[in-house]
Structure 1
Amino acid sequence: MNANHDLHAHPTNKALLAVFWIYVLVPLAWGITNTLTQAMKLFH
């Protein structure tokens, strides 16, 4: 019974992990893009 419960928990954990990384990486990528955009404006 316990092993069966663990099998059902894995997709949920992967989904939560994916959502977590999206929430971490999207703002990070946005910040890097904004920083590079500002840097390019300074050099032009």
Structure 2
Amino acid sequence: MEMPLSFSLLGNVKGKKVLDAGCGTGISSKILAQKGAKVSGIEI
């Protein structure tokens, strides 16, 4: 899966807690989790 520029701007997320607000189908959450982040998502 190709990573959008916005993810490369985040730098290393391994071990960090991330809130994906407005996560929709969770694609961003999945990518962040694969990079080692502890992700919580909420869809409003």
How does the TM-score come out when normalised to structure 1? 0.27
- Higher share in strand: 2
Name which structure has the greater RCO, CA cutoff 8 Å, separation 6+: 2
Structure index of larger Rg: 1
How does the TM-score come out when normalised to structure 2? 0.27
- Higher share in helix: 1
